[in-house]
Structure 1
Amino acid sequence: MFKTTEDSRIQISELMKPSYANFGGKIHGGYILSLMDNVAFACASKHSRSYCVTASVNKVNFLNPIEVGELVTMKASVNYVGNSSMVVGIRVESENIRTGETKHCNSSYFIMVAVDEEGNKVSVPGLTLTNKLAAKRFIKSIIRQESDTKRSMDLENLYKNLDLHLEKLKDYKVQIDFK
């Protein structure tokens, strides 16, 4: 079975209340991450027709602050599928409801895994790519996955060449005092 990205695409909007603000008066990033996790769950569950869990979140950059009183809209779609995993791309935008001005606040990729009632992984439907944008997103997910795997291997090998890396630290603001 295959589904298109449009089959699982969802969008939610929520007005930002003062209770969501941090000490600086902006909407707390943790609150936004919680909303993003909920949207990723809904999108992945809609695609897989299964309960889904968050396996990881790939890099979140907060590009613009969100103000109290703004309308936040989150758009999510399944960009990639594996056997039981899915990459859900999420775009967060905020809108000043008085002026209509919108801004891109962040984008992120949530890796979700479909599971059964016992927590065992289950297979998910494949993805039908219906346009070049969907194909680009699928390919970018593969490249990101390959890059993450290489990075993990590089970090695992760090101890094998630790002395080489320690030499590089002379260019940084760090003091080495092994005892």
Structure 2
Amino acid sequence: MISTAADRAIERLTFGIPVDGRAFLDTAHFESYDSSYVIGGIRQKMAREGAHLVESRDEAAFIVEIRSGALSINQRRDYVGIGGFEMPIPLSDAVQLPMASLYEEDTHTGLAKFIVTTYDAETWKFLHTSGPVFGISWIDESTLVGIGWRDTNVVPEKFEDQPRPPRMGQYRIELQSW
């Protein structure tokens, strides 16, 4: 979920670098979970837009600084029913009773927030900013009296190159007598 939200935020970033402009990506102010994935995605986006990525500030004509405002998963559970609780039993250990719900909804939201600022490498003059940009992904799971369904934007609907393998109930077993 986090990587999907990050991908969506990265797609909204702009860098203000001319094609073949030598650019150094400064990650000193970028601290977050899964930072290597996000930094790699930003490098890829810069390269796709025509930037010539360099390894050091000395080689660069442009410094691109990235910052993260959020990279997280937020969760919420709502239900109509009785929550699980511990029931004391005299002269014995307590028994944990499970939650019993008529309707239940679990919401998981992935959130990414990034800012990019581009400077001239020689003068440190401000040239461009992009953001804050946001990326959001979600998985919503609902259950009504034991029947459940799911809505998500995390997994693409089609995997044409890798179809899902059949589940156990889809195998046909034939018995032969000798």
| Same structural fold, with TM-score higher than 0.5 when normalized by the shorter chain | no
| Greater helix share, structure number | 1
Larger radius of gyration: 2
TM norm structure 1: 0.31
TM norm structure 2: 0.31
| Greater strand share, structure number | 2
